[in-house]
Structure 1
Amino acid sequence: MTSLGSGSLEYDRYCAEIAEQLGQLRATLAGADLSATVPTCPEWTLGYLARHIGGAVRWAERLVATRATGDIPEEDVPGIRGPEGDDPAALDAWLAETAELALKTLSGVSAETSVWSWAEPQNAGFWARRMTHEVAVHRADAAIAAGVAYEVAPDVAADAIDEWLEIVRFVQRTEPGDSAGELRGAGRSIHLHATDAPAGLDAEWVIEFREDGFVWRRGHEKASVALRGPLTEVLLAFYRRRSLDGGAVEVLGERGLLEFWLERASFG
């Protein structure tokens, strides 16, 4: 089974970050219209998005809590769909409970605790990292829908880009029919360059296309096209949450190659 890597943050940080991200999501939702359409997920309302996020965390928590050796159906996860009705207070309380439950369960085991997952490593560490970025990126969707500012810690943002690259590569290698399979062809490359990274954080990436797929690494190198801007904005553009034309990022070089990537990079 293909590995996604263990991430650049410590396990305890991932555990705490899930709760932190859920807390920030609750703040984003405070006073917002839960029936509003989410522009970046146009088939969802803000209320549905919140339930999707909380449900994903509860599913992952149940996998870890039961030391699952296989997938667990949604119907076997207590409280996965959240409260009935559209009471904002009930939804907020459910998200708070979700954060507390996830933190307690994940903090109660080690990263190496064996747990089923859809890729390597099959352990609790996989789910702590995956849920950190599941909530962090979907929180951006919520912030965009609610019309409020979105910020994320630089090291979390950098690791989210790492994980997205790992996921797209995983899909390319395991799902031959997926559009990610088209991300190949020697002689082309993409450079992501965060312009505001704090000292000590390497927040530049090089994606190199090869005949058999693509590889990536952190680093500063000349490429066919570069995406430059503040780290949070690079993250959002790379995850297709912000337009390349919104004024927050700059594209230098072969824009068509970057668009080619963004159209085909997939989560399966």
Structure 2
Amino acid sequence: MTSPAHERYCDEIAHQVRQLRDLVVSGTDLCATVPTCPDWSLEDLVRHTGGALRWAALLVRTRAREDVPDERVPGAAGPDARNDAGALGAWLAESGDTVVGALREAGPDAKVWSWGPRHDAGFWARRMTHEVTVHRADAVLTAGRPYRVAPDVAADAIDEWLELVRFAQRTGTDPEAGELRGPGLSIHLHATDAAPGPNAERSEVGVPPAEGWGRTIEFGEDGFTWRRGHEKATVALRGPLTDVLLAFYRRLPLDAPGLEVLGERELLEFWLERTSFG
């Protein structure tokens, strides 16, 4: 499976922002602590997400050649009033429209500064898709509601995460990522529900578990590599694709209902403790 197209990312950002905005204005307690980001309230989480969208929009729109400080991003802080769901929801919706408009106008190949391995608008389309997708999960979990994401988006979020951790390891920007090495060790991720496709979230057509989605991470002397497909490994994480995504992003515990860890759990915990953007 290849990565989604640029327009698919733009569509998904808009879709995720709408869903997050709907949660904000639905009466959810904006003062509630986000269990997966305990330093934030739900309002803090939403402001962070909208601010990130506006920051990325400014980078793309101006074809930035270097980082832009937060204080130079118009409207990044959000509405002046706190605990105003209507104002916060409207600001978030405008943030989404702003970044989607900038990304669509630029196209994927426009040269733009980034902190990652690619320096183009396509990087930001993908990054903002998964930024809002995972932070919407934080918000939904805070509200105690069920969370689902389209399988192609969930699969690509895991792929992007692997690529970014590998980038941090290669560039030495994250010392903890440098510890992810050791020949003979491997991790397998196995989605038991469906193979990813752009319309699978809304489809009722099941896919047998044997044909599900898989990724294998292999440790070596120089770091780790990863590949698509199913293989035996030192440890395997199995479950529905959305839940595998959330566990891999440390949004669900490994013993959450529906998840199964087979083999040396300590290796998977070692990975989760040491993976970040750097």
AA matched with 1:65: R
Q: Verify the 8 A CA contact 1:28 1:148 in the aligned structure 2.
A: no
Q: Verify the 8 A CA contact 1:202 1:219 in the aligned structure 2.
A: no
Selected match of 1:254 from 249, 253, 264: 264
Instruction: Give the Cα separation in 1 of the matches to 2:128 and 2:115.
Output: 13
Selected match of 2:50 from 51, 54, 58: 54
Selected match of 1:186 from 160, 177, 183: 183
Deviation at 1:258, TM superposition (A): 0.7
Instruction: Give the Cα separation in 2 of the matches to 1:196 and 1:120.
Output: 31
Show CA shifts across 1:123-148 (max 9, x none): 10000000000000111111111111
Q: State the structure with bigger RCO (CA 8 A, min sep 6), 1 or 2.
A: 1
Instruction: Give the Cα separation in 1 of the matches to 2:30 and 2:173.
Output: 38
AA matched with 1:104: G
Secondary structure in 2 aligned to 1:108?
helix
Selected match of 2:233 from 223, 226, 239: 223
Deviation at 1:199, TM superposition (A): 6.8
Show CA shifts across 1:21-53 (max 9, x none): 111111222211001100000000000000000
After superposition, the CA RMSD in angstroms is 1.4
AA matched with 2:109: E
Q: Verify the 8 A CA contact 1:194 1:234 in the aligned structure 2.
A: yes
Is 2:262 the counterpart of 1:266? Answer: no
TM-score (norm 1): 0.94
Deviation at 1:175, TM superposition (A): 2.5
Instruction: Give the Cα separation in 2 of the matches to 1:176 and 1:54.
Output: 26
Q: State percent identity of aligned pairs.
A: 64
Instruction: Give the Cα separation in 2 of the matches to 1:163 and 1:181.
Output: 18
Q: Verify the 8 A CA contact 1:64 1:106 in the aligned structure 2.
A: yes
Deviation at 1:255, TM superposition (A): 0.8
TM-score (norm 2): 0.91
Q: Verify the 8 A CA contact 2:247 2:253 in the aligned structure 1.
A: yes
Q: Verify the 8 A CA contact 1:22 1:96 in the aligned structure 2.
A: yes
| Structure-2 residue corresponding to 1:28 | 23
1:1-268 matched pairs, under 5 angstroms: 8-29=3-24, 30-86=26-82, 87-175=84-172, 178-198=175-195, 203-268=213-278
Structure 1 stretches of 5 or more lacking a match? 1-6
AA matched with 1:59: W
Deviation at 1:176, TM superposition (A): 5.7
Show CA shifts across 1:63-115 (max 9, x none): 00101111111111110011012211000000111111112111112100111
| Structure-2 residue corresponding to 1:3 | none
Instruction: Give the Cα separation in 1 of the matches to 2:196 and 2:8.
Output: 20
Moved more, 184-193 or 247-256: 247-256
Instruction: Give the Cα separation in 2 of the matches to 1:195 and 1:212.
Output: 31
| Structure-2 residue corresponding to 1:4 | none
Q: Verify the 8 A CA contact 1:71 1:117 in the aligned structure 2.
A: yes
Structure 2 stretches of 5 or more lacking a match? 198-210
Runs of 4+ deviating beyond 3 Å? 198-202
Instruction: Give the Cα separation in 1 of the matches to 2:196 and 2:249.
Output: 24
